[in-house]
Amino acid sequence: MRALTLLLLAASIPGAASPVAAQSAPEALARVRAFAEQYQREARPIVAHEEYVQNATYSRGTGRHQVTTAELVMVRLPGDAGSVWFRDVLTVDKRQVRDREDRLLKLLQSPEPSALAQARKIAQESARFNLGSVTRTMNVPDTALEYLHSSHAARVKFEALRNETIDGRPVVVFRFSETAGPSIIRNLLGRDLLSRGRVWADPDSGAMVRTDVLVEERTSKGACTVDFGLDPRLGIVVPVKMTERYSTTTETIDAVARYTDFRSFSVSTSEKVTKPPGR
């Protein structure tokens, strides 16, 4: 489970889309679920360059603008446990953050048993560069996959919406909402935050085209939209843009992350990898 977690995924190349009307909503949803679970089983470790632009506005005082670059790494977990993401911020407003170049990749490719634990510490350390008071230690683009997993089927309701086109391509559209806990996203005290959102997917392969997720508490709100595209070098679908908004009674944070330079790598660490606890 994740704490204000927001999104990353890779997928097999979708085939030519068939007419959306030719499939029933249950059939289309089954394809989307099957794709999500196949991704979690078969996704290979990848790394990407991230440019993350954040703008903060406050009810009082001067706003802030910040641009960070980072190395974003995904490692697949054993069995059906999914994947875990690590972010290592390299620069803040063009200023280098210590000696950060490639340290995360070198760490994960090492045989040291503590490599994954160290990688988590790097990711937690990098979270301090997020603007605003809304804590988001894992704002990476893969959360929507969790709502599609069969293990959550009894607690996540899906509703078929009017189908659409994105860049001239037909897509199936579903709205989802969590109806009961334990929730996928929790606050810092471990309390359930029931989320809702939408999934746009290829009608044939079920591959993600766009996702959005909305999370609300009494005094704050977080929203994230991710757009996906084909990476020609790896031949897989990857996130290309993540748009976020976080708001409280005193501030609003608008952020846009763009992802480039995707590449595969091998993991050599001997540590048994598990998902970090949600918080």
Longest Cα separation, the chain: 55
52-102 tens-digit pLDDT: 999 999 998 899 999 999 988 887 765 555 677 788 889 999 999 876 666
Q: What single letter denotes the amino acid at residue 255?
A: A
Tokens 């794709």 sit at which residue? Answer: 35
164-179 tens-digit pLDDT: 999 999 999 999 999 9
pTM: 0.81
> CA 195 to CA 177: how far, in whole Å?
6
> CA 7 to CA 191: how far, in whole Å?
21
